[in-house]
Structure 1
C-alpha cells in the first residue's frame, strides 16, 4: 500500500481529485468504480471544478457504483443514485447511460445481484476503484463477518453502520436496514484502488486496514493483498499509524 498523508479533509479531497483526474486524462474511456457517503463529496467537487475549468472530459468514461440501499428507487433523495447525480453526474459531461448503480428498487436480491455482477464483469472491472472506509472497517457495505464476500450480494447493515448513516436521514428509523453491495472479491478485481479516510473515528479502521491481520473482521484488511492500493488519509485518521510511517 502507498499511504499519502493529507493535512485535512480539503487536502485529502484535492489529492484524490488529482489522482482520479489523472486516470481520466491518461485513459479517457476508463472505467471508474465510485463510492458514496460524506467522505468523497469534496473529491467530487474537485472533479466538477476541473471539468468546469475545461481541464477534464468525462464523455467517454463509464462508472459503476459500489452499493445502493435495498428498497429505495433512484429518484429517492436518500438513494445513492440520487447522490451521484447530485454530487457529480449532473455537473459533468458523463453519459448517464454509462453510469451504473445497483437497482435498489428490485427486491429480487439474487437476480439483481447477478445482473450487476454481469455488468461490472462485462466492463472489465474498474481501472480505478474509489473507496471510503467505515468506522468498523467495512468497504462498500461489506460488514465485518467470518468470511470475505465474493460477488454483489444483499447485506444486513450493522447497528454501527446504521447509526453512522443516520446523520443523512431525518430519523434513524428511516435508515434502510439492507443494501446491495459489490463483494470484496469484485473490489479486488479493480486495477487500482484508492481509499479515502478522514477524522479520528476512522483511525482504528485505517490502522487495521493497513497494518492489522488480514481478517474478515476488518473487511478492508484484504486490500493488503492488492498490488496497487493508494490510501489518502488526514492527520486524525493516521493517528494510530504514525509509528509505522516514521
Structure 2
C-alpha cells in the first residue's frame, strides 16, 4: 500500500548514471531540498549537509552553483545528496562513468569510506577493475541473467588459480598454435596474434613457450604475465568480449 511504499523509499537511495542535480541551485541547496522532501528537521538537515559536504570534499564549494562543478564533483555531490536521509541501502548505477582516472579513483575512495560506516551498497558497473576493487561480492550478468555470484577472488579461481600468460607473436602459425594448446594449462585463448594461457604456475610456461617459438621459427614480440582479472571471467562465462 501507499504507507509501505513511503516507508520503503525512506530506506533506500538511488544515484543514477545521469546527472540529476538542480544546476540552478548551489551544492548546499541541493542537499537541503532533498532533505526537506523526506521531512527531515531543519537542525538535522543542516547537520547532515555540513557533515556530507566536508566528507566529500565539497565544503569550500557549498555555496557555488552546481553548473560550475566538474563531472567528478557533481558525482560526489549526487552521492552526498542520496545519503542525506540516512538510507539503509544505497544503489549506485555506473557511478564513475565518464570520469577521468583521477576523479574515478577519488570517488572509489569515497565509496569505500561510505561502505566502512556499515552502509550497504549495490553497485552496477561496466568497469571490471572497479568491481574487483570495491565489491565484497560480485554478480556477473549477461542479458538479464546472473551467471555467477561470489567474491572477486573466488570468481577468478573459476578459470585459473593465478596467472594469465599472454604471448604476442609475429605470425600465429597453425603448428605452433597446436603445440601451444598441448602445454599444461587450464585454458587457451587466441585473439589474432595474441595467445593466452591460464595456469596456476605461469612462470613455468614462459621458457616452454620460447622453446616452441624457436622450434617453429615464430617471432615473439612480447610475453606478459598477469593475474587473472574479472574481465577474463566475464569473457569465459559469456563467450564474448565485455561491452561498454
TM > 0.5 fold call: no
Bigger strand fraction: 2
Bigger helix fraction: 2
- Where relative contact order (Cα < 8 A, 6+ residues apart) is larger, the structure is 1
Q: Which has the greater radius of gyration?
A: 2
TM-score (normalizing by structure 1): 0.30
